């Protein structure tokens, strides 16, 4: 009985060796493989491969392909450590770019896709959605200079609706296009002043309203951040001027309405009354 048991154990061990044999430095059409093969000659288990294009892979294999956890290096100097499926980066992983950038997150078919964190070599960081290898979707940016952004991104740039907090405390909330304030938005200044209206290329341009902390209000046209064009200015005490403006000053003829409701036409030149 002991001899039969020993013989059965030997046969089982021999079959396991046949089905998972180590074959060091086997040459394939595109490189070399140092690891195990199953009974059909498929690469399985942990192994190291060196491809002819200069890339390497150290990790798990299954069904003759990279499957499971593994680390790969690429000819351009990039490196990946994470999950693989069917010879591609699929699942969670960390991608190290040669330039110092690092992405930690989800991959689908060799491409960054899903939630992740992208850390730039300059210290900036993005946490949010990545689509087809691009920072596209909603996320939060923390910049090395201390400023922050929370909102929509397109191809790595602030595009869509979002909120930007400056390091000096100013807050902008509204529309962006390719990192610029474009469209309608609100800017809250550290003084308490507030602007609500249109922006072009980061400047207050178009129709808008400026609210001063002392209660004064200007409503009208802006050009490159200053009151310019038609508008009305209402002082906190109730007085009102309706007319034209140039570089934040009253310019030309306009109507002045007193607190008592009296109306008079006045003419100004660079903010100075001339009649």
Q: What are the pLDDT digits (tens) for 31-53?
A: 898 998 888 888 999 999 998 99
Residue showing tokens 């400026």: 210
pLDDT for position 10: 26
pLDDT for position 19: 44
CA dihedral (9, 14, 15, 20) positive or negative: positive
Q: CA triplet 96, 140, 94: central angle to 5 degrees?
A: 20
**DSSP notation for 214-249:** TS-EEEEEEETTEEEEEEEEE-TTS-EEEEEEETTE
CA distance 237 to 250: 18
pLDDT for position 129: 97
Confidence of residue 24 (pLDDT cuts 50, 70, 90): low
pTM equals 0.84
**DSSP notation for 36-100:** EE-TTS-EEEEEEEEETTS-EEEEEEETTEEEEEEEEE-TTS-EEEEEEETTEEEEEEEEE-TTS
Contacts of 196 (CB under 8 A, 6+ apart): 185, 186, 208, 209, 211
CA distance 154 to 166: 21
Q: What are the pLDDT digits (tens) for 121-148?
A: 999 999 999 999 999 999 999 999 999 9
25/229: higher pLDDT: 229
């Amino acid at each position: 009985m002991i001899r039969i048991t020993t013989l059965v154990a030997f046969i089982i061990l021999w079959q396991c060796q046949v089905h998972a044999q180590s074959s060091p430095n086997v040459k394939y059409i595109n490189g070399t493989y140092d690891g195990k093969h199953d009974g059909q000659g498929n690469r399985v288990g942990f192994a190291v491969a060196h491809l002819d294009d200069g890339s390497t892979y150290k990790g798990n294999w299954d069904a003759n392909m990279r499957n499971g956890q593994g680390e790969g290096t690429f000819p351009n100097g990039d490196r990946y450590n994470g999950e693989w499926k069917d010879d591609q980066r699929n699942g969670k992983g960390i991608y190290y770019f040669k330039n110092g950038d690092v992405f930690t997150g989800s991959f689908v078919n060799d491409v960054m896709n899903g939630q992740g964190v992208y850390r730039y070599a300059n210290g900036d960081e993005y946490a949010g959605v990545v689509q087809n290898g691009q920072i596209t979707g909603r996320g939060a940016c923390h910049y090395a200079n201390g400023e922050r952004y929370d909102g929509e991104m397109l191809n790595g740039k602030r595009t869509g609706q979002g909120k930007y907090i400056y390091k000096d405390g100013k807050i902008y909330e509204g529309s962006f296009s390719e990192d610029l304030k474009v469209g309608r938005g609100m800017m809250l200044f550290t003084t308490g002043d507030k602007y609500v209206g249109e922006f072009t290329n980061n400047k207050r341009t178009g129709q808008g309203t400026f609210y001063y902390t002392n209660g004064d209000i200007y409503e009208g046209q802006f050009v490159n951040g200053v009151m310019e064009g038609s508008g009305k200015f209402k002082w906190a005490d109730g007085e009102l001027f309706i007319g034209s403006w140039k570089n934040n000053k009253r310019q030309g003829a306009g109507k002045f309405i007193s607190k008592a409701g009296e109306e008079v036409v006045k003419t100004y030149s660079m903010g100075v009354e001339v009649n």
